[in-house]
Amino acid sequence: MKVITKEHVTHILSRDNKPCEAIKSGELAVFETYDCFTNRFIPEGTDYYNTPKMPGNPATGPLYIEGALPGDMLKIDILDIETGPTGIVMLGPNSGNEREFFEKRVIKRVPVKDGFAWYGNRIAIPVRPMIGVIGVAPEGEGVSTITPLDHGGNMDCTQIRKGVSLYLPVFAEGALLSMGDFHAVMGEGEIEDCGLEIEGKATIRATAVKDFYVPWPLIDTGDKWITIASKETVDLAYQAAARQMYTFLTEKAGMKEEDAAMLMTMTGDLIICQTVNPTMTVRMEFPKRILWEYNKKA
């Protein structure tokens, strides 16, 4: 299996990035990743002020997927996520909803062991490992790994986790998949700018899908479809996430317009992924069971 080591980092997702590895469509690959601080706070005694500054959100990659062409979807099956033993959470004057209360940047190292993060070595938090940054080369100019848009990127969605399939639209030949910014656990909304930031390793299968296309990210969790939108404001993002689900249900899943809207308002969940990046991310979740029932009846 191809392994992409974490030294192959980029801070921009771009069609100009040179692939560091290639696989055939349908093959597996492993991505090793730094945490979003390039592991700079993992050693005991380090803090924001006594370590060299580094750009945030290094992403490992890109991986070239043979056969993936613009107009395809890239299906990324997330088969496994492993995380390191030390997570980092940071607060600071320029980040998060409570920013005015913190004049200095403060970090905390949180040990992760046997499925729990141990805050203050006292409070046990069950981990829910997720991939914060995952994206393909965008259409047009490169985009920072800080900013999520329709190519993916820094979506900080808790549902990008082991066992799901993420679909991203392909804009460049080979798709050019990169990822990083894993979290051992993160609250919905990521309200103070960090999850529990952690290095890791993800095993994925990447497949070019030819007979299905939507121009934004979509997740299949097995029991739900999830549309993801990243826009300038939370209002714009929620409207787009819901519209994407409506479009998916009516144009791809065979639902009549009024049935889609009625079933969305009764059974769809709108959830804020993150509020701290240059664009805000909201997702809409819709139960697949409703679709099965609907199509059975039709």
Binding-site member from 25, 33, 38, 154 for Ca ion (CB under 5 A): 154
Q: Which of 47, 39, 32, 28 is nearest to 92 (CA)?
A: 47
Give the residue with the Cβ less far from Ca ion, 198 or 260: 198
CA angle 188-79-195, nearest 5°? 25
**36 binds Ca ion per the rule CB under 5 A:** yes
The least distance separating Ca ion from the CB of residue 55, rounded to whole angstroms, comes to 13
For residues 66 and 24, give the distance between their C-alpha atoms in angstroms, rounded to a whole number.
5
- With CB under 5 A, what is the number of residues at the site for Ca ion? 6
Q: Return the number of other C-beta atoms located less than 10 Å from residue 10's C-beta.
A: 20
The least distance separating Ca ion from the CB of residue 147, rounded to whole angstroms, comes to 10
The least distance separating Ca ion from the CB of residue 284, rounded to whole angstroms, comes to 20
**110 binds Ca ion per the rule CB under 5 A:** no
3-state secondary structure of 271: strand
**230 binds Ca ion per the rule CB under 5 A:** no
**156 binds Ca ion per the rule CB under 5 A:** yes
Instruction: Tell me the C-alpha to C-alpha distance, in Å, between residue 262 and each of 233, 235, 249, 259, 266.
Output: 26, 21, 12, 5, 6
The least distance separating Ca ion from the CB of residue 156, rounded to whole angstroms, comes to 4
DSSP 189: B
* Stretch touching Ca ion by CB under 5 A, among 104-112, 125-133, 162-170, 239-247: 125-133
Strand-pair partners of 123? 119
* Stretch touching Ca ion by CB under 5 A, among 71-79, 193-201, 222-230, 245-253: 193-201
**Which residues would be at the binding site for Ca ion (CB under 5 A)?**
36, 132, 154, 156, 181, 197
